[in-house]
Structure 1
Amino acid sequence: MKIIECPRDAMQGLKQFIPTSLKIDYINQLLRVGFDTIDFGSFVSPKAIPQMSDTAEVLANLDLENTTSKLLAIIANVRGAEDAAQHNQIDYLGFPLSVSETFQQRNTNKSIAEAMGQLAQIQEICHKHNKTLVTYISMGFGNPYNDPWDTDTVLHFVNELDKLQVKIVSLSDTIGVSNPDNISYLFSSLIPAFKHIEFGAHLHTNPNTWQEKVAAAYSSGCRRFDGAIRGFGGCPMAKDELVGNMATENLVAYFTGIGVNLNLNNAALDAAIAQSGAVFS
């Protein structure tokens, strides 16, 4: 079981700039918890996401000596991938690929066809620099733009990613429209069909429906879950109102409750939860 903590996703939509020192202290605390991966920052245009303009500085000040956690950085184009790949501390490059043409334009300023072309180049950069590419299928459970969506479309996208030898694919409910039925159908269809791909769940949600979504994904074979402490964040490019992330503490409580050993430092997690108040105030 892998829990991916996403402070980058929690921070990126906030208009008030979080001081770099606060980011460093907070992410260092998260590194003590023992999450499989920390989605810590992004190498994207500072005009598009001003909050992440200090990602390289944050990275340079992280304490990676006493942690088992790996680092993931989000990139939106080839240039961002080249920048991120220069940092040996980064293990994963994450690219948002949308099944919605409208959202692909809003999120990365390119068409789906252009994004697929760049993704092939990014995969080459990852191979050259010993990074692993994580591809997020954004709007994977529907979109608010009336763009075409069905489960066969998602299957088609995964097949195209498989041709590029993408090894980690995270199905992303960018606006909180997933439900147990489509979650179960997609994971139970994809996991057996692409056994060599690791599938993850990046589920934005409201506080009332999170558990049924986690249960549906887990019972369908998903063993990789993204979260953000206290459910902070959401995608600022998605629509006018943010839908928060899956709260990490809910994930931990759920899996602990059904007997899954997450190998986390619970005292460090409690400290991170307490510290988050100062970061996101």
Structure 2
Amino acid sequence: MSQKQFKLVECPRDAMQGLHDFIPTGLKSEYLNLLLQVGFDTLDFGSFVSPKAIPQMADTAAVLANLDLSNTKTKLLAIVANLRGVEAAVQHQQINYLGFPFSISETFQQRNTNSSIAQSLNTVEEMLSLCVKNNKEAVVYLSMGFGNPYGDEWNYEIVEQWADVLVSKGVSILSLADTVGVSTPAKIESILPQLITRFSNTEIGVHLHSTPAGRFEKIAAAYHARVKRIDSALKGFGGCPMAADDLTGNIATEDVISFLNAQGEDLNLNMDKWNETMALSGRIFG
């Protein structure tokens, strides 16, 4: 897999959003400005969602104004959960991608975005239209893509059916999201190659959650499944508040880097800046 194909998406937004104590805007900005110098393809930096739902992200617009994009190739991604969020995000020229969590579990879609799957599909259509008009690209996360804890029906056919619907609407980047850590290497290696083959003109990625013990085998499975895009977060911070296990966080970026380096991938990252970011992270995450 060539360097040009491989996209590393660093997700500080996902890492920070569940923290109880509000991180000062200046400190958030300092952390993100360091990450921008590391050389990731994309930074999932913030979200335009209700401050009541996610208080930690209430200052996303203020943080964005503090970011220095003069010396980075990294693109910015903001998460949105409804049309109001889309309309707010597209106003910002610096943002390249809008990410929307589209759950294939009806229960989780209601919990996460306070809307049904059918309503969320309408939001995706509106988002795609506004992205075209405002020179942005949409990233749709197939949330609960590996199963769900609510008893909602799940199988590969359902995953493929919704991927088909979204691609037919014009979605060009799909990320299969684990959300609660139920993915396994076997599921990753059976589902992803089929999706990648079926939707060969679509960028297919993964946003996995895991306990620390399971991270490497999931990264390896995604790599061997020919995934071109991996979401992760420094030290594996974050994860879904709905997850039953406190240890279920994001895939750790340092584990992804370590694995890919061992495969001989040239990631072209500034590891000095990465080490600076690791050191600063203690002030944010404790």
Q: Same fold (TM over 0.5)?
A: yes
Alignment match, 2:3: none
Say yes or no: does 1:182 pair with 2:195: no
Residue aligned with 2:206, SS: strand
Say yes or no: does 1:49 pair with 2:54: yes
Contact (CA 8 Å) 2:107, 2:150: kept in 1 or not? Answer: yes
Say yes or no: does 1:222 pair with 2:227: yes
Which residue, out of 138, 149, 154, partners 1:149?
154
Unpaired runs of at least 5, structure 2 = 1-5
Contact (CA 8 Å) 2:173, 2:202: kept in 1 or not? Answer: yes
Q: Distance in 2 between matches of 1:214 and 1:156?
A: 25
Of 107-116 and 209-218, more deviation after overlay is shown by 209-218
Alignment match, 2:106: 101
Residue aligned with 1:208, SS: helix
Alignment match, 1:113: 118
Residue aligned with 2:204, SS: strand
Summarize the alignment of residues 243-258 of structure 1 with structure 2, pairs less than 5 Å apart. Answer: 243-258=248-263
Question: What is the CA deviation profile of residues 4-37 of structure 1, one whole-angstrom value per residue up to 9, with x for unaligned ones?
Answer: 0000000001111111111000000000100000
TM-score, normalising length from structure 1? 0.98
What amino acid sits opposite 2:214 in the alignment? Answer: T
Shift of 1:215: 1.1
Q: Distance in 1 between matches of 2:15 and 2:185?
A: 24
Say yes or no: does 1:126 pair with 2:131: yes
Say yes or no: does 1:75 pair with 2:71: no
Q: How many residues align?
A: 280
TM-align CA RMSD:
0.8
What amino acid sits opposite 1:197 in the alignment? Answer: T
Alignment match, 1:205: 210
Residue aligned with 2:250, SS: coil
Contact (CA 8 Å) 2:181, 2:243: kept in 1 or not? Answer: no
Alignment match, 2:265: 260
Alignment match, 1:63: 68
Shift of 1:171: 0.4
Which residue, out of 157, 164, 172, partners 1:159?
164
Q: Distance in 1 between matches of 2:25 and 2:49?
A: 17
Alignment match, 1:26: 31
Q: Distance in 1 between matches of 2:19 and 2:80?
A: 19
Q: Distance in 1 between matches of 2:219 and 2:160?
A: 21
Tell me the percent identity: 55
Residue aligned with 2:210, SS: coil
Alignment match, 2:175: 170
TM-score, normalising length from structure 2? 0.96
Shift of 1:216: 1.1
Shift of 1:122: 0.8
Shift of 1:239: 3.9
Unpaired runs of at least 5, structure 1 = none
Q: Distance in 1 between matches of 2:206 and 2:36?
A: 21
Q: Distance in 2 between matches of 1:259 and 1:230?
A: 22
Which residue, out of 11, 14, 18, partners 2:16?
11
Alignment match, 1:85: 90
What amino acid sits opposite 1:100 in the alignment? Answer: S
Q: Distance in 2 between matches of 1:99 and 1:231?
A: 25
Residue aligned with 2:78, SS: strand
Q: Distance in 1 between matches of 2:15 and 2:104?
A: 23
Shift of 1:269: 0.6
